[in-house]
C-alpha cells in the first residue's frame, strides 16, 4: 500500500489519490506482483515436449501469469504416477490411450480435456552416419541399415507411446517380425534418442520434434500417414484443488505465442 500511495501521489492529480487508494483497498487495483500469489501448478508432460514446455513455462512466468513446475517422462509413467497420487495439475500426453486411462478412473477434471498437438514418427541415425535415407514403405526392411549387431532404439513398445506407434507402423508395413528381437527398448522417447545421439544405436524411432530439438541426429525417414494411429497430444487438468489455475495454463498453451514455440520444436497444432 505504501508503494502504491507513492506512485499515485507522484503521477496522479491529488484529487485522484484518494480514489486510487480506495480502489486498491477494495481489491480492484492489483499490484504488479499479484501473479506471484497465483498457486504454483505442476505440469506432467510427455518427454517429447521437454524443450517446448520448458520454454513456454518460462514465458508464462515472464508474463507474470503464474509459476509452473514441470515433470517430464513417458506418458505411461506419468499417468501411473498420477494414479498413485502424485501432485500433478496438468497432464499432457503423447497419445490418447494414457489420457483415456486417467479419464476412466475419474482422475481428469471433467470438461477440461482437449487435443493440443500433432507429431510424426521419424527414423533417425547419428548425424555423422553414412546412411542418408531409408525408403519406408510396405515390405521394407531395417536389417541392412542396422547391420550385424545394431539395434533399433525406441521407447518400450509395451507402454511408451512412441514405441506403441512405432510397433504399430512396423507391423502394418511388414517389417516388425524381422527386427522385433533387435529392439533396444528405452524408458521414454528421449532415452531412445540419447542412444542414437551417443552412437550406441545406429537407428532409432522418435517423434519428428525430438530430431528437431536434438541437433545430434538426422532424420533418414518418416513413417507415412496411415501406417499408424495419428500422433495426437491431449491435454487436461488433473482433478483436484487447482483446476482453475490448470485451465488457465492450458488456455495459454493454445495462444499464438505458445503455439509458435511448439512449431519451433517441430510440433503441429490441431
Q: Which CATH number characterizes residue 99's domain? A: 3.40.190.10
Give the number of domains in the chain: 2
Residues 47, 210: Cα–Cα separation, whole Å: 9
Q: Is residue 153 part of a domain?
A: yes
Q: Is there a single domain that holds both residue 146 and residue 167?
A: yes
Q: Is residue 247 part of a domain?
A: yes
Q: Is there a single domain that holds both residue 109 and residue 128?
A: no
- Are the CB atoms for 234 and 114 separated by under 8 Å? yes
pLDDT digits (tens, 9 = 90+) for 65-117: 999 999 999 999 999 999 999 999 999 999 999 999 999 999 999 999 999 99
Q: Is there a single domain that holds both residue 164 and residue 135?
A: yes
Q: How confident is the model at residue 55 (pLDDT cuts 50, 70, 90)?
A: very high
Q: Is residue 242 part of a domain?
A: yes
Q: Is there a single domain that holds both residue 239 and residue 201?
A: no
- Are the CB atoms for 127 and 211 separated by under 8 Å? no
pLDDT digits (tens, 9 = 90+) for 183-198: 999 999 999 999 999 9
Its domain, for residue 159, covers 121-222
Q: Is residue 265 part of a domain?
A: yes
Q: Is there a single domain that holds both residue 125 and residue 201?
A: yes
Q: How confident is the model at residue 270 (pLDDT cuts 50, 70, 90)?
A: confident
Q: Is there a single domain that holds both residue 212 and residue 136?
A: yes
Q: Is there a single domain that holds both residue 244 and residue 211?
A: no
Q: Is there a single domain that holds both residue 159 and residue 216?
A: yes
Q: Is residue 11 part of a domain?
A: no
Q: Is there a single domain that holds both residue 99 and residue 136?
A: no
User: If you average pLDDT over residues 120-137, what whole number do you get?
Assistant: 97
Q: How many CB atoms lie within 10 A of CB 99?
A: 23
Q: Is there a single domain that holds both residue 125 and residue 217?
A: yes
Q: Is residue 139 part of a domain?
A: yes
User: If you average pLDDT over residues 144-165, what whole number do you get?
Assistant: 97
pLDDT at position 224: 95
Q: Is there a single domain that holds both residue 241 and residue 113?
A: yes
Q: Is there a single domain that holds both residue 90 and residue 137?
A: no
Q: Is residue 5 part of a domain?
A: no
Amino acid at each position: 500500500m505504501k508503494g502504491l500511495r507513492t506512485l499515485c501521489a507522484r503521477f496522479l492529480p491529488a484529487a485522484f489519490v484518494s480514489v486510487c487508494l480506495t480502489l486498491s483497498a477494495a481489491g480492484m487495483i492489483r499490484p504488479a506482483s499479484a501473479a506471484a500469489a497465483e498457486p504454483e501448478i505442476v505440469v506432467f508432460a510427455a518427454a517429447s515436449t521437454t524443450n517446448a514446455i520448458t520454454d513456454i513455462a518460462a514465458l508464462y512466468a515472464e508474463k507474470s501469469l503464474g509459476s509452473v513446475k514441470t515433470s517430464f517422462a513417458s506418458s505411461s509413467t506419468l499417468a501411473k504416477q498420477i494414479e498413485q497420487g502424485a501432485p500433478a495439475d496438468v497432464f499432457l500426453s503423447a497419445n490418447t490411450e494414457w489420457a483415456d486411462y486417467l479419464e476412466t478412473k475419474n482422475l481428469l477434471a471433467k470438461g477440461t480435456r482437449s487435443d493440443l498437438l500433432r507429431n510424426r514418427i521419424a527414423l533417425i541415425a547419428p548425424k555423422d552416419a553414412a546412411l542418408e535415407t531409408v525408403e519406408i514403405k510396405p515390405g521394407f526392411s531395417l536389417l541392412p541399415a542396422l547391420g550385424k549387431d545394431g539395434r533399433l532404439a525406441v521407447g518400450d513398445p509395451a507402454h511408451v507411446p512412441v514405441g506403441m506407434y512405432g510397433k504399430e507402423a512396423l507391423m502394418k508395413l511388414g517389417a516388425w517380425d524381422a527386427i522385433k528381437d533387435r529392439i533396444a527398448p528405452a524408458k521414454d522417447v528421449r532415452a531412445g534418442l540419447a542412444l542414437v545421439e551417443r552412437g550406441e544405436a545406429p537407428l532409432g524411432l522418435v517423434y519428428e520434434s525430438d530430431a528437431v530439438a536434438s541437433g545430434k541426429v538426422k532424420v533418414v525417414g518418416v513413417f507415412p500417414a496411415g501406417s499408424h494411429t495419428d500422433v495426437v497430444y491431449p491435454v487436461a487438468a488433473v482433478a483436484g484443488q487447482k483446476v482453475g489455475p490448470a485451465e488457465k495454463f492450458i488456455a495459454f498453451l493454445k495462444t499464438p505465442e505458445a503455439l509458435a514455440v511448439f512449431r519451433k520444436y517441430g510440433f503441429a497444432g490441431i
